[in-house]
Amino acid sequence: MNEILSVGIDIGTSTTQTVFSLLTLQNTAGYFAVPRIAIVDKKTVYKGPIHLTPMKSRTLLDASEIKKLVAADFADAGYSPKDTATGAVIITGESARKENAAAVLEELAGFAGEFVVSTAGPDLEAVIAGKGSGAWQYSVDNVCTAANLDIGGGTTNIVLFSAGETIETGCLDIGGRQIRIDADKNVIYVSPSARIIANYLKLPIEETQKADMGTLKAICSKMAELLEDSIAGRDSELLRAVATSGSSRYEAVAKPDAVFFSGGVADCIYRGTEDDFAYGDIGVLLGRAIRERRFFSDYSVQRGSETIRATVVGAGSYTTMLSGSTIFYSSPLFPQKNVAALRLSYAEQELLANGDAAGLREKIAWFLKETDRDNLLLAFSGEENPDYDKVKRLAKAVAEAADRALPEGVPVLLAVERDIAKALGQAVYNALARRREVVSIDSVRLDQGDYVDLGKPLMDGLAVPVVVKSLIFG
């Protein structure tokens, strides 16, 4: 067995958090079988303080202050960036829409070692939070459907799991800091989403004016109703108006057997407080409004293992998966970060296996132009037990297409679902006359639009850590 350190850093609308976890790797195959490296245990070893996310203005994150907070968390945990093997730096909620969000992530990536994912995107956030909260594990243990609503400062990320499989995701611009209140109980901020809801209700709300409890409660009640409508599959023009840009539309394909709440507002749902504006926003009022809705009568509401820390725990413990062990790499090109995946259909794969490289050459050229990149990762299903001649034909066509379409010196990166990556990678490398480096990994399924990080091989080179993600900035 082998242990590696994983770090999760979450820069949210309201808070910034860091969590350190140890992942235990083990060869789960028998002595006479092909090695199969798996993550067999996850253990959180340090949770940093919950910091308020530093801002320079409403549109700019304070990168230097965020960096100082994360550096202090590393020091308090007793680790340095060089100790980190994997993990994620995630920017979530309204923070992902700030003008300098991508630049902040790029700067922070160095804190998490040579392999870390810098990512944003509401669908991925929903899955990570649902895993961190315990909803995913509940669906596995009870072979059931479980929904998680991660309600933060700016957004609510929703995910539905079925026995461990992600079947639906979505995101709404509903959260505790959609309206902010100062110490004198004046309204100091109203988000575009909150204003849409206020206008729908024909309620006046303006910044610098005294907070009206009736208005705030009505807005929070409508927010809670919209969350309930989303889970139940009740569509409306207002629900679509507050949907988060770039997110999938949550389809209520099944009634959840259990519902979990996470995020900062979750504590206000489960625990509550007498102070209406304890956090200088409507988080407490929103939590009460959700508590008063029919969630608790219509669903089995469970309290997960994490609430406000769900996303950062998920980022530190659940973003990494491992490739299979029949892999090939001609040289240690790792890490590879933010590589866009170009998925080939079965029909395209068969054309390649029949020696037709022209279609792939054109598609690679188009993809590089569309993504404004000079590299990519070719992803396809592969075939169960293909004969050697078919692998050679496939490799020759892939090599020809990639060599003519990729810029000089760019490696050929391949991801195959079946366990043929080693034979295919070697054949592609030979077909290229070793003019380009080749990396070929197996047991990884990628879709068009996915981005991938490939880390340094682990367990004496038997497996490659992989993170599949989305990169969406509003």
Task: Express each pLDDT in 374-395 by its tens digit.
Answer: 999 999 988 878 888 999 999 9
Per 3-state DSSP, the chain is made up of helix, strand and coil in percentages (nearest 5) of 35, 30, 35
In this predicted structure, the answer to whether residue 228 has a pLDDT above a threshold of 90 is yes
Radius of gyration of the chain, Cα coordinates, nearest whole angstrom: 24
412-416: strand order across its sheet = 321-322, 465-469, 451-454, 336-343, 377-380, 412-416, 438-442, 328-329
In this predicted structure, the answer to whether residue 407 has a pLDDT above a threshold of 70 is yes
In this predicted structure, the answer to whether residue 42 has a pLDDT above a threshold of 90 is no
Instruction: Give the right CATH number for 2-119 from 3.40.50.150, 3.30.420.40, 3.40.50.720, 3.20.19.10.
Output: 3.30.420.40
**String of DSSP letters for 320-374:** -EE--S--EESS----EEEEEEEEPPHHHHHHHHTT--HHHHHHHHHHHHHHT-S
Structural fold of domain 135-304: Nucleotidyltransferase; domain 5 (3.30.420)
State residue 117's pLDDT score. 67
pLDDT in tens, 397-406: 999 999 999 9
Residue 79 to residue 358: CA distance in whole angstroms: 50
Residue 152 to residue 14: CA distance in whole angstroms: 7
Average pLDDT, integer, range 203-208: 92
State residue 115's pLDDT score. 62
Q: In terms of C-beta density within 10 A (0-12 exposed, 13-18 middle, 19 or more buried), how is residue 275 classed? A: exposed
User: Are 179 and 216 contacting, i.e. CB atoms less than 8 angstroms apart?
Assistant: yes
Structure tokens at 327: 């892999």
State residue 466's pLDDT score. 87
In this predicted structure, the answer to whether residue 84 has a pLDDT above a threshold of 70 is yes
Residue owning tokens 């880390």:
455
For 68, the 3-state DSSP assignment is helix
State residue 474's pLDDT score. 45
- Are 2-119 and 135-304 equal in CATH topology? yes
- CA torsion 215-221-223-227 (nearest 10°) is 180
For the chain, give the mean pLDDT.
90
Q: How many CB atoms lie within 10 A of CB 76?
A: 13
In this predicted structure, the answer to whether residue 473 has a pLDDT above a threshold of 60 is no
Residue 119 to residue 125: CA distance in whole angstroms: 9
**String of DSSP letters for 408-454:** TTPPEEEEESSTTHHHHHHHHHHHTTTSS-EEEEES----TT-EEEE
- Listed by start position, the domains of the chain span 2-119, 135-304, 328-456
Highest mean pLDDT: which range of 28-37, 78-87, 113-122, 422-431:
422-431
Spatial CA neighbour of 467 closest among 140, 215, 189, 127 = 127
| HSE toward the beta carbon, residue 337, CA cutoff 13 A | 17
